[in-house]
Amino acid sequence: MTQPSAVWSLSGFGDEVDPDPAIQAAVLLALGASHIEVRSAWGINVSELEPEAALRLKDILDEKGLKVSAVASPIGKVDVSLPVEHEVTRLRRIISVAKTLETKYVRIFSFYRGEGQSQGGIRDAVMERMSALAAEAAGQGIILLHENEKGIYGDTPDRVLDIMQTVDSPALRVAWDNANFVQVGVKPYTEGYAILRPYLEYLQIKDAIATTGEVVPSGEGDGELDATISALAADGYTGFASLEPHLASAHELGGYSGPVAFGVAARAFAVLAAKNGVTLA
């Protein structure tokens, strides 16, 4: 039997299971997760979650014995033409939710460009906004996790590295998503791992097929998840692995899977983790 070389904390996007946090928690616990990633509860996005609702959510999760790995915010998933303060103001509200839920991590994005604009053309505006967001987070003891979403400025390894090096803040780190890299024509491990590993603080688990962009369970696509997991285990990574299966049709709050497909995704990832000597806890 392979001796475990690493222990990772298993989490997952609760709203991919069901809108109801109690059902989200029950399914994640049944799959062996110790944490939950909160993007929405009762169909309400974290950016609009009132303080009373955040406290109610915390009570439900506490009762179930589930901790929060991160708040999956929509910050930066907007056009870069919006004023800097627009997203900083929203971030302040989301940070209050994160503090209520007792997590130091908030996922963000690096802005969309308008029609006719190039990625290079929006670079300075992106950096100004990302620096402002990182400064706000640093002042409140929060770490922002940049997800490499398709179509934003930071959707390729080189541009994610550009953000990390330019902003140069310990309050801004990488949430690594293999499937999203595949969807922009990148071989994640081959082309991105070495340059981004120094900044990689959080792992989102999904895979995708290069020819179609279709999201599939771990190991069934071109996301080089096996190689990525192996390398992270060898590097001593001991952070979160958060399931974001996206195995059913997307809805307005993000991807969705449902309990059954979520379980399929969890088991597929568990196989790859075990193969590489990773214990999920």
Cα angle, residue 145 at apex, residues 142 and 150 outer, rounded to 5°: 155
90-103, pLDDT tens digit by residue?
999 999 999 999 99
H, E, C per residue of 28-46: HHHCCCCEEEECEECCEEH
Q: Is the pLDDT of residue 1 over 50?
A: no
pLDDT at 5: 76
> pLDDT tens digits for 2-58?
445 799 999 999 999 999 999 999 999 999 999 999 999 999 999 999 999 999 999
Q: CB–CB of 126/80 below 8 Å?
A: yes
pLDDT band at 84, cuts 50/70/90? very high
Count of residues in the chain? 281
How many Å apart are CA 74 and CA 280, to the nearest integer? Answer: 27
Q: Which two tokens stand for residue 93?
A: 């509200």
pLDDT of residue 259: 79
For the chain, the maximum distance between any two Cα atoms, rounded to a whole number of angstroms, is: 56
Query: Residues 13, 19: contact at Cβ < 8 Å?
Result: no
At residue 247, the pLDDT reads 66
Across 228-234, average pLDDT = 97
Indicate whether 181 belongs to any domain: yes
User: Which helix (DSSP H) or strand (DSSP E) does residue 112 occupy?
Assistant: none
Residue 202 in any domain: the answer is yes
* pLDDT for residue 252 is more than 50: no
Is residue 197 exposed (0-12), middle (13-18) or buried (19+ Cβ within 10 Å)? middle
How many domains, in total, are found in the chain?
1
pTM of the model: 0.94
Which pLDDT belongs to residue 261?
83
Compare 246 and 80 and report the one with higher pLDDT: 80
Residue 1 lies in a domain: no
Q: CA Rg, the chain, in Å?
A: 18
Confidence of residue 139 (pLDDT cuts 50, 70, 90): very high
In sequence order, what are the residues at sequence separation of 6 or more whose Cβ sits closer than 8 angstroms to the Cβ of residue 196? 157, 160, 161, 164, 174, 176
How far apart are the C-alpha atoms of 228 and 235, rounded to whole Å? 10
79: nearest Cα among 107, 125, 114, 121: 114
Question: Is 150 inside a domain boundary?
Answer: yes
- With a cut of 90, say whether residue 256 has pLDDT above it: no
Give the integer Cα–Cα distance in Å for 259 and 243. 12
Containing structural domain, residue 100? 6-280
For residue 266, pLDDT over 60 is answered with: yes
State the average pLDDT over residues 111-121.
96
Element (DSSP H or E) covering residue 150: none
Any idea what the CATH number is for the domain that residue 244 is in? Answer: 3.20.20.150
160-217 per-position pLDDT tens digit: 999 999 999 999 999 999 999 999 999 999 999 999 999 999 999 999 999 999 999 9
Distances (CA, A) of 2 to 50, 229, 275: 47, 15, 8
* Residue of 206, 248, 208, 221 whose CA lies nearest to 17: 248
Instruction: Round to whole Å and give the CA distance between 185 and 68.
Output: 32
